[in-house]
Amino acid sequence: MRLAVIAIGRLKQGPERELADRYRGRFDDIGRKQGFRGLDIHEIPESRARDTEQRIREEAAAIVALVPEGAILVALDEKGKNIDSATFAGHLGRWRDESVANTVFIVGGADGLSPELRRKAKLNVAFGAATWPHQIVRVMLLEQIYRAATILAGHPYHRG
């Protein structure tokens, strides 16, 4: 199974980019051994529309254009479920074992994701009740993807 993260906004050079790159590299090392065929990251510029609803629509259209046919969508959304790392890993492992070709994680911009994208998502995940900057959400997501691979591998990184 191939994984992808589609995110609104760019990670600029700095500590967030370095940490995101570190978790992505760690995942590449262990993920292949667990049957994952890679992790792509697509950054979409934030919409410049003045109207909030228009911005959300434009960003949703840009996200949908990058989602492969038949992919499972996982939305990172403040209204999503709070799930633990083992449950997150369980979803990825099950989809991999079911020969799902692509799982795509979507991270919205400052205005959030469109209701349509949230409905299309097989899983809506929140990282707690707090609101997080999209740069931090991306780092947290990449860490959880790496952690999921370590859980599936029985690696001691996850000691929970």
Domains of the chain: 2-153 (3.40.1280.10)
Higher pLDDT, 131 or 45: 45
- What pLDDT is stored for residue 78 in this prediction? 86
Q: List residues bridging with 41 in a β-sheet.
A: 5
Residue 160's pLDDT band (boundaries 50, 70, 90)?
low
Exposed, middle or buried by CB within 10 Å (0-12, 13-18, 19+), for 21?
middle
Q: Judge whether residue 116 has pLDDT over 70.
A: yes
Q: Judge whether residue 15 has pLDDT over 90.
A: yes
What pLDDT digit, counting tens, does each position of 85-109 carry? 999 999 999 999 999 999 999 999 9
Q: Judge whether residue 159 has pLDDT over 80.
A: no
Q: Judge whether residue 33 has pLDDT over 70.
A: yes
Check the CA dihedral 43-66-47-55 and report its sign: negative
Check the CA dihedral 9-15-16-17 and report its sign: positive
- What pLDDT is stored for residue 158 in this prediction? 76
Residue 7's pLDDT band (boundaries 50, 70, 90)?
very high
Q: List residues bridging with 2 in a β-sheet.
A: 102
68-84 mean pLDDT: 95
Express as a percent the part of the chain with pLDDT over 70: 99
- Please state, rounded to an integer, the average pLDDT across all residues of the chain: 95
